[in-house]
Amino acid sequence: MTDPQLALASDIAIWASLAVLALALISFSAHLAVTGAARERHDKVKAREKVRVGVGADGEQPADTVDDDRATGLTDSTTPTTAAVEPPTVSHPAEVTRRWGVIGLQLTWLATFGVVGGTILRGLSVQRWPLGNMYEFAIVAASFALIVFSTWSLKRDRLWLGPFVVLPVMAVLGAGKIWYTEASQLMPALDNTMWLSIHVTLATLSVALFIIGAALGVAFLLRDSAEKRSRIRGWLAGLPEGDKLETMTYGVHIFAFPLWTFTLITGAIWAEVAWGRYWGWDPKEIWTFIIWVVYAAYLHSRATSGWTKRHATYVALLGMLCIILNYTVVNLLITGLHSYSGVST
């Protein structure tokens, strides 16, 4: 039933993508370093000008500057508005090159095609959804993370996020390679095309989003500590402001959390069909529950005034730690009904 040639092609595609991602990581890092340094320089010049010209000249401009969208949006109207008069501010100082970041993004797109292609080849080689063991889980989750990041980057400038996404994706693919499983058919408990595709697709997609959320959370924590000490130097200057990073962190999590809830519910339905009970405190079920509860705590802590954004972000990262433990320790060391890592013990 399995086609070894397609499986080999899939393996090669994933390995090649891993190499491309390594190059993308270097380009993105270079981009962050270049833009960071340039912005630092720009800020210094601005600060000096401010001193020379005095506060009066700058005082005319409102504190929150207007972005391009808004200005263009309003000039369409037949009536004039004050907003249209204000000059649009440029988010990047003019002299900064975005070359490295764009190369990184192009490489990431290449790797996205590689990983997605490798995943599809894997599915074709076993003639089923490639969601049956740890290795396949890793490549599908990596595919989703890359697709989300790459398409997001088309809409908004997310070049600065590159290293934060590419590095964990490489880790996921690397983990997949460590616990590589040869292409083969599924055990009967997993052999339910509908629930396998729904439950595991949701699980991989939400894990991919949680990874991006955690990446943003780490970026926020780094930038925030720099801002607190007023020492925004080097590549940290290339990141957006801490508040914006934090809002994005939360924004990604509120997509991921309902998806994880769906994962939990579809898993329960499948467990009812396959094992005769929808909830039985199997180790994997326990960990799905733990992850759900920790992220629920994150969403609550985010909405509680007594908790700082920093502390809330720590809770989100605790959730990521639980996901990592769930993938590694629970799959490999704890036996339960979900023991289908495909790895010899």
User: Interaction with other proteins in 306-335: which residues (CB under 8 A)?
Assistant: 306-307, 315, 322, 330, 334
How far apart are alpha carbons 33 and 222 in whole angstroms? 15
Q: Does 257 bind other proteins (CB under 8 A)?
A: yes
How far apart are alpha carbons 255 and 223 in whole angstroms? 23
Question: CB of 169: closest distance to other proteins in angstroms?
Answer: 25
Closer residue to other proteins (CB): 45 or 303: 303
Q: Of these, 250, 252, 320, 331, which contacts other proteins (CB under 8 A)?
A: 250
How far apart are alpha carbons 134 and 190 in whole angstroms? 13
Q: Does 139 bind other proteins (CB under 8 A)?
A: no
**Considering only CA atoms, which of 288, 317, 290 is closest in space to residue 199?**
288
Q: Of these, 127, 157, 251, 308, which contacts other proteins (CB under 8 A)?
A: 251
Q: Does 234 bind other proteins (CB under 8 A)?
A: no
**Considering only CA atoms, which of 31, 34, 13 is closest in space to residue 23?**
31
How far apart are alpha carbons 148 and 126 in whole angstroms? 26
Closer residue to other proteins (CB): 135 or 235: 135
On whether the CB atoms of residues 166 and 108 are closer than 8 A, the answer is yes
Closer residue to other proteins (CB): 2 or 97: 2
Question: CB of 64: closest distance to other proteins in angstroms?
Answer: 8
Q: Of these, 12, 19, 53, 189, which contacts other proteins (CB under 8 A)?
A: 189
**Considering only CA atoms, which of 290, 291, 264 is closest in space to residue 278?**
264
Question: CB of 92: closest distance to other proteins in angstroms?
Answer: 20
Question: CB of 250: closest distance to other proteins in angstroms?
Answer: 6
Q: Of these, 40, 124, 184, 222, which contacts other proteins (CB under 8 A)?
A: 184
Residue 203 has, within 13 A of its CA and on its CB side, a CA count of 29
Question: CB of 71: closest distance to other proteins in angstroms?
Answer: 10
Q: Does 268 bind other proteins (CB under 8 A)?
A: yes
**Considering only CA atoms, which of 320, 331, 14 is closest in space to residue 164?**
320
B/e letters for 55-70, b = 16+ CB within 10 Å, e = fewer, are eeeeeeeeeeebeeee
User: Interaction with other proteins in 274-313: which residues (CB under 8 A)?
Assistant: 274-283, 286-287, 289-290, 293-294, 296-297, 300-301, 303-304, 306-307
Contact partners, residue 336, CB within 8 Å, separation at least 6: 282, 283, 284, 330
**Considering only CA atoms, which of 83, 48, 210, 41 is closest in space to residue 141?**
210
Q: Does 152 bind other proteins (CB under 8 A)?
A: no
Tell me how crowded residue 244 is: count the other CB atoms within 10 A of its CB: 13
Q: Of these, 78, 94, 154, 229, which contacts other proteins (CB under 8 A)?
A: 78
Question: CB of 173: closest distance to other proteins in angstroms?
Answer: 20
Question: CB of 37: closest distance to other proteins in angstroms?
Answer: 28
Q: Does 181 bind other proteins (CB under 8 A)?
A: yes
User: Interaction with other proteins in 15-74: which residues (CB under 8 A)?
Assistant: 69-70, 73-74
Q: Does 120 bind other proteins (CB under 8 A)?
A: no
Question: CB of 269: closest distance to other proteins in angstroms?
Answer: 7
User: Which CA distances in Å does 92 have to 5, 73, 142, 188, 284?
Assistant: 48, 21, 30, 55, 46
